[in-house]
Structure formats: structure tokens, C-alpha cells
Structure 1
Amino acid sequence: MPIDVEKVTSAPPVRAAAVWDDREVRLYHLALGAGVPEADPAELRYVYEGHERGLHVLPTFGVVAGGSGGVGFQVFDLPGVDIDLAAVLHGGQEIIVHRPLPAAARGTTITRVPAVYDKGKAAVIVQESTLLGEDGEPLITQRNHIFVRGEGGFGGDRGLSERLRAPDREPDLVLEIPTLRQQALLYRLAGDWNPLHADPATARRAGYDRPILHGLCSFGTAVKAVTDRLLDGDVARITECRTRFAGVFFPGETLRLRVWETGDGYRLTATAADRDDAPVLTDARISPGPPSPR
């Protein structure tokens, strides 16, 4: 079996360097669609290193810090994992923020696989990574669920099915966010080189008529939108964010974001407005802390 569950879950954590500077931060934000309008101070804080209040860093940058394509995506280098990238989808993501991310650092990632779940027709690899700052203390901890089609049925634990359903009422905010046709090509520069997001032949082999956008790009775009509209751009307020990737999104489509304010923060969903609101993100939440000191 391409996934040796015992071998991968018992493997020692993988440590790797994660080095980044403000250029990578700015490029990441541009790949999310930041910088429009180009003279708007609210946009320049994400893309201009000379901004008067310093360069803002979204916490979602932490999962691509150092050009790894995702703090946790060293899973493909772990013993016991030999899978076809065309069979892989990102099922879900959770980010716990311990402290704000710096615009430049020489950090370290520590990655392990605590579980592999058997979903019948697929396996789900649960991957946990912690990004440490230069002082050796955690910046973020992230967990992602890697959905591998065709690798289930091995008799393992199915895992819990934790859902965060949207409130049964009209949303408090609806946003329509256009994307670029080349957005996946831009986002690949963050380090996720999966050809599913660039190569038409790979996309067809995976069952799509053209390359799809990275789920983390859609999620980062949604987190930025909520931060800008509801948190006054205060990226340091975000203490946790999470989502389930419910469907594909194609570059060039319009992302329709619905947001509900709740007692524990904000719930949100995202759909493809161009395809009859086909689901893109579900079970999503952003948890903010108090405003940062000015």
C-alpha cells in the first residue's frame, strides 16, 4: 500500500528550515489578490514594505513560509508515504496563531503525522506542523487533512466528523471577490509546485477540464477579506482560523463569501458565483482576539 500507516505515524518529526523575507510576504499577498486598488493604503499595507505602519503579514502566510508550499507539506518526504499527486486533494486546514508573524525570519518547522484515517474510498492523512521563530518559540501550529483518493479501505479508524455549520439565518456580510485567470500560477510561487494547479494534462487526469486554484489560496483570500472588512485590517487579532475545502474553484471565477458574526468570532462559507454557488469552503471560522495597541 502506498501509505504505510504504522510507518508514517511512528516516524520521528521532520525538522526543516523555513527562511523568508518581506519579498516572499509581498508576493504571497499579491497571489491572494492584494494591491487592488494599487494606491489604496489598506492594500499597500500588504504589499509595500515602506508602509507607515510596517508590512502586515496575514497568519495564513505561515503555512507557506520559507517557500515550502505549506509548512506541513513535508509529508511527501516522510517514510511510509508514496502517493500520486493527481490523487491528492487538500481536505481541510486549521491554523492556531501563537503570536504575529514577522515579515522576515529564519525559522524552523517541525512536522509529524499523528493519524491516517480510513474513509472507505480514500485515506486522509492528518498532518501537524509547528512553525518556530528565530527564538525557538512557536509562531503558528497548523493541521491539514490530505485527502488521497483510492487509498482507503485498509480497515483503519474513520476519525471524527467535526462540523462547523453556518448559522440558519441570512449572513451578516456577503462579498464577491473576483480572481485572476493566472492566480494559480501566481500562488505556485509560494512553493506549492503541484502540477494540478498549472498543467492541463495533470488536471484532466485528476478529472478536471483545466487546472484548479489551490484551496489555501481561496482560504487566504477569504481570511484577508474578513480581516479587511471586519477587523480593520488588524492581522494580529486573528488567533485561529480553519476551513473545510468542499469543492474546486477555477482561477478567473468570482468567489462569493458569506460571513456570519457569532459569539466565538465569524463563521463563513465560500462558493463559486459563476457556477450556481457550487461549494468551495465550508465549516470555516475565524476567531479574533482584542484589537492590537495602536
Structure 2
Amino acid sequence: MKISIIGAAGFIGRHLLQSLLAKHCHIRLLQHSTTSPAPVQGVTHYRGDLSDPLTLGPFLDGTDVLINLAWPTAAEEEPQQFAGHLASACIENGVKRLVHVSTAMVIGRPETRTVDENTPPKPRSRYEKSKLLVEQNLRTSLDSQVDLAILRPTAVFGAGSRNLEQLARRMLAWPLWSRYLLRFVYGQRNMHLVPVEDVVRAIELLAFHGSPLLGQAFIVAQDAHPMNHYQGVDELLAPALGVPLLRSKVRIPAPMLHALLRLSRRSQDDPRLHISGTHLASLGFVPSRNFERAVAEYGRWYALQKQLSP
């Protein structure tokens, strides 16, 4: 199977590439720089630019599945242009399926507390609106000429991620009383964390699935895990970071936190918001049972980085 990836140098892309190489796929990577990367068996690098679809012929020719992890970086490129260039490149070069990785945060501020792929998105921030606009434009531009699947992960974390970085830094650097305060304020606010391993498995499921996916959106989340809230994640990180373990469960009432988050103009301002992926489940996807281990592994990785940094 010939799989082409755009954005493989990013956080999710690095983990995805390692997994696909273990499956002995023929992988093509798009690069912008003129520097020749180190050769990797099973990987072919192609030079091109998504903003110029005409340069993508050799990269996409014969592609079974194109996995897009990229997002427009050029200030002058609007989401509509980005989606149009991506769709044109797929159609003109005969790509059979496009797996586009978006974000579950396109839900914005929903009207219900429990949401899934069938919940109408209510994006509020520019980022959320742009992500949703790309999804919508891909569906329109591809017009069933290329099978499309859209993956919407929640807050992806793992070694090298930005998610959890702020919390880990605070736990290592801030005084102990500040952790008590944050646990009191944020309490059991849902963190919407999902291990990068789950996201990789979801991408692969969509890439290799035998039936047409017809432009559906698929959410990958771990909101159902009982420790996927602020106090729970704080407790899982503490031993890994080597800081005192706090077990205080005292917290402000959820409606009060809801009001505080709304005053701060957060899109997802309901601390009890629950995001689930029913479409992935219908394909047989089961979230990993290693959420606690994944948080602990991140903590150990982060602590090591701090030790190695000057």
C-alpha cells in the first residue's frame, strides 16, 4: 500500500511514521526544504509545495491514501485556498482516499454537555472556525471524487507534545500552595486528553478501512476515562515528575467554574463537557486502556528533558 503523508515532521507525524514503518508500508513524505534528509528504509522524500499543486505530481502519483497533518503556515493563504489546493492535488493525481486530521475543538461552544460527531459545531475562535472551514471546503471540493475521512482528535499528548507542558512546568517550578489552589479551582474539569498512540491507531484504521468513508468526521477521545480531569491528571503526573502527591478533592462547584471560564471567554467553558467518538466505535475502534501509563510516561519524559536542559 502506498501512503503519502503531508506534515510528517510534526508531533503526530513523527509517531505515525514510526508505527507505519513497523507495518512495512511504502511511505512517501513531502518536504519543503532543499536539505536532503537522512535515508530511512521504506521512506521516499519528495520536494514540493502544497500551495502549488502542480509540484505534487511525483509525490502523489499512485497514492492509495494521503494523510494530511499539515495546516497553512503562510499568512497569505486562507483556509479556503488551503483546502482547494489540497483537493485539487488529490483529484488531479488520482489519490484514492484522503485522511485529513482536524481537531475536535471545532465543536466550539455546543448547546449540549455530551457531544459526538453528530453534534452541530458552534465554533467561536478564529482557530476553530478555520479548522471547520477547511473540513467543509474539502467535502465540497472533493465532491466524492476522492474518498474522504476527517479525524478530530481532542487534546493530543505524548513525548514532545505541547499539551500537558504548561501543567508539568507549573508542578515542577511553582510552590506547593499554588498546586492546592489550582486543584481547588479546576477540580474535576475535563481535560479532554487523548494519548498520541490512540490518534495514530485511529489514523491507521481510517487509512486501511476497506469500505468508503464518505466524508464522515471521526472523533478520537478518552473523555470516558475516570482520571481525565484536572485533579486526576495532577495525581498521575506527580510521581513521574518527582513532586509531592496531593490527594485533596476539595473544589469549587462546577457551575461556579463554568461561570469563571465563560468570563474568560473560553470556547469550551463547561468543565463537565464530555466528548465521545461514536463513529470510530462503529468501525471497531476501542480506546487504549493505557491512559494512566501514558500520562506517567509523559511526566517522566518531561522531567528528563528538564534535567538535560542547561
Find the structure with the greater CA-based Rg: 2
Higher strand share: 1
- Compare the two structures and name the one with the higher helix fraction: 2
- Give the TM-score normalised by the residue count of structure 2: 0.31
TM-score relative to the length of structure 1: 0.32
